[in-house]
Amino acid sequence: MLFENDVVVITGAAKGIGAAAARAFRREGAILALLDVDDSASALARDLGGRSQAIRCDVSRGDDVKQAFANIRQSVGLPRVLVNNAGIQTYGTCADTDEQEWDRTINVNLKSQFLCAKYCIPAMLERGAGVIVNVASVQAFVSQNSVAAYTTSKSAILGLTRSIAVDYAPRIRCVAICPGTVDTPMLRDAIQLSPNPQEVLDECNQMHPVKRIGTPEEVAELIVFLASDKAGFITGQPIRIDGGLGLSIGGSKRG
């Protein structure tokens, strides 16, 4: 087991990539601290067992995060791994995104990763070492229409990742993963906004060169690998897991 009796903290752990990561780390023997505002994280913690616990926490709020990491230290010990996964998808251009929606997107997607790192890093240093995996997006490299706040938040995560990696090497590694479209509840909720959700899902499958979207379990396996000693020479890097999305610029065939 790669993480036997190691404490792993996962944000946005109630469902999607976060829940899949929780199952994958538990398989490897980890003690889990699952942070979410969704109460279904408690049921997941009970199902996983092994001293796993859910902590209700709004990771965009400093007081909540500070208290959560104090609880983790007291109840299960010092973290070896932090997975900054919590995030929301929002839509709008610069002109039509209101300030409140912009702030909410940046706070949940980006500020939360800063806050969790801020309160986790001292515990990791006390432990001796640790790994932080920040969940960004392929939209840190390419962008759709009308996702100004979202793509900005995900792009900035790459800068935060580099800064942590440089500031705390060699004792703490920090990497970012950049998924393409993944079959999560967040995706399903988003496509329901369309008059024809199945058509949107089909388009999502077709726009990836592998002709399908990813699964939360595939992303979780990458997270576990990057957090493990098997990836000990990787730090500060964005790792894309996107089915080849963005490789082609289109255009007509020749010859």
Is there a cis peptide before residue 170, judged by omega within 30 degrees of 0?
A: yes
Q: Contact at 8 Å (CB) between 139 and 150?
A: yes
119 is catalytic: no
39-76: burial string, b at 16+ Cβ within 10 Å, e else: eebbebbeebeeebbbbebbbbeeebbeebbeebbeeb
Instruction: Give the integer Cα–Cα distance in Å for 185 and 18.
Output: 11
Q: Which of 91, 119, 150, 168 is catalytic?
A: 150
Q: Which residues are catalytic?
A: 150
